[in-house]
Amino acid sequence: MADRDQTAEIAALKAENVRLQKIIDALMEIAERNSGLQHSDFSLFQTAILLEDQINLRTAELQAALRDNERVTHALRASEERFRSLANQSMIGILTVEEGRIGYTNARLDAIFGYATGELVGRPPADLVTPEDRAAVSAAMAQQLQDASAGLNQMAHGLRKDG
């Protein structure tokens, strides 16, 4: 009977050992997962800090570029205002052409051709030339666009709004 008790006790101890080993394995797995999360959390923290530093650096660069852009824009506006002031006081008609269209006319040019202020803006310059002279003026303008140093010296008959 002692052998049987001893065998039963050994079997119970082995079963308990297996149960405890399963518990230990489960606890180890949980500990490893938590350790991985802690490492992962630290990596995320490091990455967040690096990204924040990069964002701050880029923000500073963009703010500096914005300040430069504002300074250049202010200087350009001041220059344009000086040009308009001089052009509007001129006794001769002045216009600018931008991408093949009239971009600006001074008051004298508007008066010469009988248009209201701003009415010519956006129209082709050929609208100010008689149909007979348009081809010659267009050719001279095309030549001037190819060689800006050549200047534009083309005589043509103007065409007022009222004909």
- Give me the chain's average pLDDT, please: 86
Question: With bands split at pLDDT 50, 70 and 90, how would you rate the model's confidence at 37?
Answer: low
* Structural domain of 4: 1-89
Residue 156 domain-assigned (yes or no) = no
For the chain, what is the domain count? Answer: 2
Domain assignment present for 160: no
The torsion angles phi and psi of 25, rounded to 5 degrees, stand at -60, -45
Cβ-contact 136, 154 below 8 angstroms:
yes
The residue among 89, 115, 136 that closes a domain is: 89
Is residue 162 included in any domain, yes or no? no
| Residues 70, 3 within the same domain | yes
Count CA atoms closer than 13 A to 162's CA, side-chain side.
Answer: 7
Decide if 102 is inside a domain.
yes
pLDDT at 123: 95
CATH of the domain at 117: 3.30.450.20
Residue 159 in domain = no
Check pLDDT > 90 for residue 144.
no
d(C-alpha 160, C-alpha 114), whole Å = 6
Angle at 123 between CA 118 and CA 126, to 5 degrees: 125
* pLDDT-wise least confident of 28-37, 53-62, 133-142: 28-37
Residues 77, 121, single domain; the answer is no
**pLDDT tens digit string along 93-116?**
999 888 889 999 999 999 999 999
Question: b/e string for 13-36 if b means 16 or more Cβ within 10 A?
Answer: eeeeeeeeeeeeeeeeeeeeeeee
Q: Do both 96 and 56 map to the same domain?
A: no
For residues 52-72, give the mean pLDDT.
92
Residue 22 confidence class, pLDDT cut points 50, 70, 90? confident
pLDDT at 145 over 90: no
